[in-house]
Amino acid sequence: MSHSSQESGGRRLDRRRFLTSAAIGGATIVGASALGGLDAESAFAAPMPSLHPAYPAAFAEGRIRAVNRGVLDVVGSHGEHHLVQLTNATSIWKLRATTAEAIEAGDGLYARGVKMPDGTIAADAVWVNIVNVLCTVRGIAKDRVHLAHSHHELVGRIVPATTTASYLGGALTSDLSRMRIGQTAQVLGAWRPADNHIDVARLTLGH
């Protein structure tokens, strides 16, 4: 998963940011999905200031080294270390909205929440294995699309009832028949550590 590619793709997106909040006198986190902010673009939006001064907003990214009783041990892409605490209100995305049971050691992670006094991040939203890369369509099959990103070949897996496309800025559709070899495609999806493929959530197709 290329974090630099994800970040450059994310900067092109201009969607509303979601809020991070902590209840006064405690660490009750308001889940991002309750605020309408679990959509994948929110993973790349700049964090908003916390609504409570005692709990500053925090952000983490990296690979999950271990999962222990709802705490994610994360090593960042520059060697930094994070402990991300999941709560009953944490909103979790892994291709679609899901639960903590879907998170595994070895997964990639983007997380937003509030920093607690002990340094742990209490997460209101976690995006697992999310990728957002600009590619060129090189081949099309029934259940996958072959892509080129910079000098790398990628395989995007079409997920029934999940994968959608937008053509030239149009509305999202499950009809992929208008996709053509040579088109540019912004690919939003979930990286698969087992085979290095991408489960595609959305293709935004250009010319």
Residue ranges per domain, the chain?
A: 3-128, 131-205
> Tens of pLDDT along 89-145?
888 999 998 999 999 999 999 998 888 889 999 988 899 999 999 999 999 999 999
Q: How confident is the model at residue 36 (pLDDT cuts 50, 70, 90)?
A: very low
Radius of gyration of the chain (CA): 17
Position 55 scores a pLDDT of: 72
Tokens standing for 57?
């907003």
Closest CA to 184 of 130, 142, 133: 133
Predicted TM-score (pTM) of the model is 0.76
Q: What DSSP designation does 7 have?
A: H
Average pLDDT over residues 55-84: 92
Instruction: Tell me whether domains 3-128 and 131-205 share a fold.
Output: yes
CA 201 – CA 161 distance, rounded (Å): 10
Position 108 scores a pLDDT of: 94
First-to-last C-alpha distance (Å) of the chain: 26
Is 3-128 in CATH node 2.40.50.320? Answer: yes
Beta carbons of 117 and 101 less than 8 angstroms apart: no
Position 112 scores a pLDDT of: 87
List the single range of 12-26, 27-41, 187-201 with lowest mean pLDDT: 12-26
Position 47 scores a pLDDT of: 59
Residue count of the chain, please give it. Answer: 207
Query: How far, in Å, are 132, 162, 203 from residue 139 at the CA level?
Result: 19, 20, 14
Residue 116: strand, helix, or coil: coil
Average pLDDT over residues 160-181: 94
Compute the CA torsion angle 191, 132, 186, 164 (nearest 10 deg). Answer: 60
Position 24 scores a pLDDT of: 23
CATH topology of domain 131-205: OB fold (Dihydrolipoamide Acetyltransferase, E2P) (2.40.50)
Percent of the chain with pLDDT over 70: 75
CA 55 – CA 33 distance, rounded (Å): 20
Q: How confident is the model at residue 38 (pLDDT cuts 50, 70, 90)?
A: low
Query: How far, in Å, are 4, 20, 82, 147, 181 from residue 135 at the CA level?
Result: 14, 32, 31, 6, 11
Average pLDDT over residues 74-100: 92
Q: Is 195 left (phi over 0), alpha (psi -120 to 50) or beta?
A: alpha
> Tens of pLDDT along 158-170?
999 999 999 998 9
Averaged pLDDT score across all residues of the chain:
80
| Residue listed under structure tokens 């999806």 | 189
Q: How confident is the model at residue 46 (pLDDT cuts 50, 70, 90)?
A: low
Tokens standing for 154?
């990628």
